[in-house]
Amino acid sequence: MNERREPPIMMVGVDGSASSIEALRQAERFAIRMGAQVQALTCWAVPTIYEDPYGVGFVDYEKSAQKVLDQAVEQAFGVDWPENLTTRLVRGPTRETLIEESRHAMMLVLGRRGFGGFRGLLMGSVSSACIAHAHCPVLVVHDGNGAGKRGNHHA
């Protein structure tokens, strides 16, 4: 049989942080070697306090998330995006959404930490949850500027 198989997907959680931008770069390096697609995924949600049953305001949150995603990809690769890269916005809480979406990936690549508090933490809560519950291997990367080295504790 000559079944055409879709290339495997390296999924990257993107929140616009320096470490998620580095995660995009690392995923692309691996994907080239493995013949995989890179899927940059940004999760977005309307804070519960602002939820409107009629959907007013959803567009603003979605547009904001799209802007974060586009800017992160541009920072990672410039204006010439890799041919094997696709982007997706998914509405939902970040942790749960990434874990669920990991069912469709050969690997989930995340930045070490995003914009949460406690700058000195070694890893963010999203990364930790994904390591514990994802349905595929998880690669967690630093931001690429030496973060994590002794004496360098800024975000």
Rounded distance between C-alpha atoms, residue 111 and residue 92, angstroms: 19
pLDDT computed for residue 60 by the predictor: 84
In a domain, 98, yes or no: yes
Q: Does residue 154 sit within a domain?
A: no
> What was the pLDDT predicted at 121?
52
In this prediction, residue 47 carries a pLDDT of 72
Residue 147 domain-assigned (yes or no): no
CATH number of the domain encompassing residue 58: 3.40.50.620
Return averaged pLDDT per consecutive 10 residues of the chain, 155 residues in all: 80 95 97 97 80 61 94 96 96 95 97 60 78 96 61 34
CB 24 within 8 A of CB 14: yes
**Domain-located, residue 75:** yes
What pLDDT, on the 0 to 100 scale, is given for residue 46?
A: 77
The count of domains in the chain is: 1
**pLDDT for residue 72:** 97
Q: What is the pLDDT of residue 33?
A: 96
- Rounded to 5 degrees, φ, ψ at 138 are -120, 130
Q: Which residues constitute the domain of residue 108?
A: 9-141
Alpha-carbon span 93 to 9, nearest angstrom: 21
